[in-house]
Amino acid sequence: MPGIYYIREVANHFKNNVVWLNPELIRLEWVPWTRKIISSIMPMYNLTVEGIEEAMDYLRSGGKNQYTTVQMLKGLAY
């Protein structure tokens, strides 16, 4: 099975209690296809101190009323 299958399984199992910490900084001018697919499955944050803090805020709130990369990347065309 492709890796994206397992990412979906993890996201479905944990629902709003899972995030993806991306080791490469998220830049809107260069968003590869893989990043768009993963961020459409689960919220994605940078693997920085600030990104980890944002991810923890998201997890503490149960995923409610939080702006994530999913909303940020939805409008981009590929």
Whole-model pTM over 0.85: no
Q: How far is CA 43 from CA 1, 57, 60, in A?
A: 22, 12, 14
Q: At what angle do helices 33-41 and 3-14 cross, to 10 degrees?
A: 20
Q: pLDDT band at 78, cuts 50/70/90?
A: very low
Distance CA 77, CA 8 (A): 22
The residues pairing with 10 across neighbouring beta strands, listed in sequence order, are none
pLDDT tens figures, 13-64? 988 789 999 887 766 666 677 788 888 898 889 888 998 998 998 888 876 6
**Rounded to an integer, what distance in angstroms lies between the CA atom of residue 20 and that of residue 47?**
9
